[in-house]
Amino acid sequence: MTKRILVAYDGSDLSREAVYEAKNQACESPEREIYILSVVKPTGPATNAAVSRSIGKEMADRFRSEMQVLKEQMESPGVDVVTEVVVSNVEENPGLSICAYAKKKAVDLIIVGSRGFGNVKQLFLGSVSNNVVQHASCPVLIMK
C-alpha cells in the first residue's frame, strides 16, 4: 500500500524541517509519495483583482524554482515527490487549500510547520496550521 504524505511548504525553517520529516515518515512504507504544496495567498489592492493575481503569480513562480530544488533533494528509489504551487483566494485561509488538496490526493498524513509568536502567545498555533488541524480529514503532524 502506498503511503501518501503532504507537506505544506512556505519557505520557513519549520516548513523545511517538515519536508525532511516527511522523508523520515515515508521510510516506514515500501511505496511512498510525498506531495510538497505551497499555497500562495495573493496580496495587493483588493479593489484591483488583476494586480492581485499578478502578484500571486510572481510569488508562485518564486516558489516553483525553490520547490524544484527540494524535489531533487528528496527523490530517491521508492519515493515519488510531487511539488505544486496553488494560488488561493485573497480572503481564504491557505489551510483550506491545503486540506482540499490533501483530500483530492487521498493523503495519509499532513505535515505543517507551526508559527511561533513568543511569550505566552507561543502556546497557540498559527492561523494556517490551526486551520489545517481543524479541517483535515487525516492525521496532522505539526513541526515546532
Q: What is the pLDDT of residues 20-32, one digit of tens each?
A: 899 888 777 778 8
- Domain extents in the chain: 2-143
Instruction: Pick one of 3.40.50.300, 3.60.15.10, 3.40.50.620, 3.90.1170.20 as the CATH number of 2-143.
Output: 3.40.50.620
Query: Would you say the pTM of this structure is higher than 0.95?
Result: no
Average pLDDT, integer, range 72-85: 86
3-state secondary structure of 78: coil
Q: What is the pLDDT of residues 43-78, one digit of tens each?
A: 655 556 666 667 677 777 777 888 888 898 887 877
| Exposure class string for 15-36: b at 16+ Cβ within 10 A, else e | bbebbebbbebbeebeebbbbb
